Amino acid sequence: MNPNIAGIISLVIFSTGTLLMLLAKSIPPFALSSVMLALGFVSISCVQYMRERSLQQFITQWKQPLKYYILVVSGVVGYNVFMITAFNVTENESEAFAVNMINYLWPIMIYGFSAYFLGRKIELLHIMGFALGLVGLFLVMAAGYINATGLALERGAFSWNWAYISALLAAFLWAFYSAQSKAHSYPSGFVGPVMCIGSVVMCAFHFIFEPKISAIEYPVIIAAILLGLSRCSYYLWDYAIRKGDAILLSSLSNLVPLVSSLLFIVFGFRPASYFTAIGGALIMAGCLITNWKVIKTELLRLKTRRGCSDIN
């Protein structure tokens, strides 16, 4: 599969992830993390085995240096645990919407990490796209704080609590992991073993620190199952960010908060507003500007290919 296509598919799945976390928030964080990572391990293992058709190759995924385990555990397991915790401690719809938007600072953080760790040259178009994406992100974020009058901010809207701090830590870990993973040579399927280990650890934490789970409603169970199975997107993202165009994927990732916020609105967690529309337009504009050279190159390539077809 083309790595950039794999990255786009993973971003589509990412757009639904936080909504599923919120729908399953009645399950204690460590318990939900354990179930989600276990299902993620199963789904990734199935995809990996079908691709490799080799049990030996599958087993080889586990044989990696300790530094790779630390990197991937901090990125994959750390991100999920912090995000699930963030949604679990939210007290109302406004906080849930804010947590979702704070989490999506990670696409912007990737720019800085990629430039620092990978030595990439950041051009003027990248800076302009970054600025527009940042402004758009904050406008979408502000849409969660405007009250019914459409003029005044809700009291305490920008007061930081553990939910916001947890979401910010999740964004930082995921951006750091995404930027660092491109510089390392571990196989993409290594994400599966990491999820298996993370699931066991989270299960132990659940029995030690959390109360026993009582009856759970069917919609919550369905959300938890879908959340776990969708973790195969990490395999796609890891493969894409290391084999594909990091600038292209990080700029396209600016669309994730827009799609995610629209899903929150559709499911009734936040009414639609002009701030969401304007912020979304700025995010898309930032994405296009950042990728203008890539888009231009692809258009020229298509034009050349069409010209060759006409000649033939």
List, in sequence order, every residue forming a beta bridge with 146; answer none if it has no partner.
153
Q: What is the mean pLDDT of residues 70-92?
A: 87
Query: What is the distance, to the nearest Å, from the Cα of residue 83 to the centroid of all Cα atoms in its chain?
Result: 10
Question: How long a stretch of residues is the chain?
Answer: 312
The mean per-residue pLDDT over the stretch 15-22 comes to 89
pLDDT(60) > 90: no
Over residues 221-234, the pLDDT tens digits come to 999 999 988 888 87
Give 128's strand partners: none
Min mean pLDDT across 129-133, 153-157, 251-255 is at 153-157
> CA 111, CA 114: separation in Å to the nearest integer?
5
> What does the DSSP 8-state code read for residue 1?
-
% pLDDT > 90, the chain: 12
pLDDT at 158 over 50: no
Sign of the torsion formed by the C-alpha atoms of 172, 175, 123 and 284? negative
Model pLDDT, residue 309: 56
Specify the DSSP element, H or E, that contains 250.
Answer: helix 246-252
* pLDDT for the residue numbered 191: 81
User: What is the tens place of the pLDDT at every residue in 183-205?
Assistant: 777 776 788 888 899 999 999 99
- Most confident stretch, 55-59, 143-147, 245-249: 245-249
